[in-house]
């Protein structure tokens, strides 16, 4: 499988350092969290010259810029238009950078809306954005997150959108921790739309987000690895560790744990 990591692992690292870490630790891709002030510098203010330099650096380094992750969300009617406009700007950036995926959120449902109304608004927003993404050759991917961690709720949005340029980031912690759904069931529900996967281990305690090394928390990643291998998943598995340990501590350890699971499962046949 192909592994990437999100820039939350190294928020203060410039791109040159990020590429060196990816090469050294065996990651094939990098996922840039945009709009958080991370030192990678990938954002809407890039010049064409800077974009060309970034594309060249990734190509020379042999690392894929796998995904841009942004905070755009569509559940709140007071901010939805601004978020749609911002999403369109990020789609244009992803196109220029030749990045295949733009990760977005459905968003927190405000108290003024019930879930059905929120689902209609999210789906309408994604349908409006879908042809823009399609023309740019970019896939919009909504993450199982916030009030949409339940895979059944995300699947309902996807069915309503019904567009090939709109899919899902399966965050395996959120569908279990927030969505209360076992790995096999979550995958089965979301399978038609999964294009990108987020991994991280930790505690299922909803009162606080706690990360732990893979294999030491409440999230068993063995079923995830088996499911993805059995179904021939060809996308990236991206580690998302927010404000955790130093990158040099967790990046090599976490990919080693996932590779070990791969080897064990493949050996079992």
Task: Report in angstroms the alpha-carbon separations of 243 from 198, 210, 250.
Answer: 16, 11, 11
Interval 178-222: pLDDT, tens = 999 999 999 999 999 999 999 999 999 999 999 999 999 999 999
- Residue 201 is part of a domain; what is its CATH number? 3.20.20.150
Smallest CA-to-CA distance from 99 within 66, 72, 132 is with 66
Residues above pLDDT 90, as percent of the chain: 99
Instruction: Find the farthest-apart pair of alpha carbons in the chain and give their distance in angstroms, rounded.
Output: 53
Q: Which domain holds residue 40?
A: 2-268
What is the pLDDT confidence band of residue 231, given thresholds at 50, 70 and 90? very high
What is the pLDDT confidence band of residue 10, given thresholds at 50, 70 and 90? very high
- C-alpha to C-alpha distance for 21 and 141, rounded to whole angstroms: 26
Decide: residue 102, CB within 10 A, 0-12 exposed, 13-18 middle, 19+ buried.
buried
Q: Picking from 119-123, 207-211, 257-261, which range would have the lowest pLDDT averaged per residue?
A: 207-211
Position 146 scores a pLDDT of: 95
For the entire predicted model, the pTM comes to 0.97
- C-alpha to C-alpha distance for 159 and 190, rounded to whole angstroms: 10
Interval 16-52: pLDDT, tens = 999 999 999 999 999 999 999 999 999 999 999 999 9
DSSP 247-267: HHHHHHHHHHHHHHHHHHHHH
- Mean of pLDDT over the chain: 97
Position 160 scores a pLDDT of: 98
Position 269 scores a pLDDT of: 74
Position 229 scores a pLDDT of: 97
Rounded to 10 degrees, the C-alpha dihedral 195/200/204/210 comes to -140
What is the pLDDT confidence band of residue 261, given thresholds at 50, 70 and 90? very high
Number of structural domains (the chain) is 1
């Amino acid at each position: 499988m192909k592994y990437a990591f999100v820039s939350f692992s190294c928020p203060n690292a410039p791109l040159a350092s990020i590429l060196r870490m990816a090469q050294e630790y065996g990651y094939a891709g990098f996922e840039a969290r945009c709009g958080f002030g991370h030192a990678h510098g990938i954002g809407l203010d890039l010049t064409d010259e800077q974009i060309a330099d970034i594309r060249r650096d990734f190509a020379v380094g042999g690392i894929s810029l796998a995904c841009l992750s942004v905070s755009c969300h569509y559940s709140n009617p007071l901010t939805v238009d601004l978020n749609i406009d911002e999403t369109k700007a990020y789609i244009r950036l992803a196109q220029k950078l030749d990045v295949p995926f733009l990760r977005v959120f459905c968003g927190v449902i405000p108290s003024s809306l019930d879930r059905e109304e929120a689902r209609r608004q999210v789906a309408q927003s994604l349908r409006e954005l879908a042809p823009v993404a399609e023309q740019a050759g970019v896939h919009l991917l909504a993450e199982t997150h916030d009030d949409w961690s339940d895979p059944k709720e995300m699947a309902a949005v996807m069915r309503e959108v019904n567009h090939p340029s709109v899919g899902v980031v399966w965050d395996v912690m959120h569908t279990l921790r927030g969505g209360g759904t076992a790995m096999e069931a979550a995958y089965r529900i979301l399978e038609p739309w999964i294009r990108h996967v987020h991994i991280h281990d930790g505690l299922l305690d909803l009162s606080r987000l706690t990360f732990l090394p893979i294999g030491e928390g409440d999230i068993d990643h063995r079923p995830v690895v088996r499911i993805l291998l059995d179904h021939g998943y060809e996308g990236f598995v991206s580690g998302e560790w927010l404000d955790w340990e130093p990158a040099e501590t967790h990046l090599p350890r976490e990919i080693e744990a996932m590779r070990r699971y791969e080897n064990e499962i493949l050996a079992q046949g």
